[in-house]
Amino acid sequence: MVRTPLTPEERERGERLGRLLREARGGRSMTQVAASAGISAETLRKIETGRAPTPAFFTVAALAHALGLSMDEIVGRCAPVADADADAAA
């Protein structure tokens, strides 16, 4: 199966997600948060660095739970800028 290349918007959204997760992790180690979410530390590292910009929904949900984030907060902070501007205008 061949993966479709990611768009610049998808890459940017992945980078925003990574920044959000790093900020939320704070002083906790990557290993602690990954174990709490039931994923490997390497998977968390890839998400945080943007090398895995489109993680599975259940991975994001598990990380949100482990970090005390709501899914609404993640969506709001990771939405493309154009979408966020349109939502604010509505």
Residue 49 lies in a domain: yes
CA distances from 43 to 30, 48, 54, 58, 85 (A): 10, 9, 12, 13, 31
Average pLDDT, rounded, for the chain:
89
Residue 75 lies in a domain: yes
Comparison of pLDDT for 9 and 37, the residue scoring more = 37
pLDDT confidence tier of residue 31, bands split at 50, 70 and 90: very high
The domain containing residue 67 runs over which residues? 8-89
Residue 1 lies in a domain: no
Q: What CATH number did the domain enclosing 26 receive? A: 1.10.260.40
For the chain, percent of residues with pLDDT exceeding 70: 89
- Structural domain count, the chain: 1
Res. 41: pLDDT tops 60: yes
pLDDT confidence of residue 39:
97
Res. 90: pLDDT tops 70: no
H/E element, 86: helix 81-89
